[in-house]
Amino acid sequence: GGAVRVVMTGHQKLESINIDPELLVPEDIEMLQDLIVAAVNEAVEASQKMASERLGKLTGGLSVPGLF
């Protein structure tokens, strides 16, 4: 939803995390933790998809067993 944003490279290296200041309420720490986990997982999936698409361009669409 954009409250927690994660930037990750195609090599699954975490570059940054941006948290909406309105989420920084001590009573909601568990929700914030869940949002961070979800944002990181989403960034990993997007990074893997990007890497797969780029690899597909390099291999000309050939399926290389064991890579993805």
Q: What pLDDT is recorded for position 64?
A: 58
Q: Tokens 């975490």 belong to which residue?
A: 14
Q: What is the pLDDT of residues 16-37, one digit of tens each?
A: 999 999 888 888 888 888 989 9
Task: Tell me what pLDDT residue 8 has.
Answer: 84
Q: Are 2 and 33 in contact (CB under 8 A)?
A: no
| Separation of alpha carbons 7 and 64, rounded Å | 28
pTM: 0.65
Task: For 49-66, write each residue's pLDDT tens digit.
Answer: 888 887 777 666 566 566
Q: In the structure encoding, which two tokens stand for residue 28, read together?
A: 């909601």
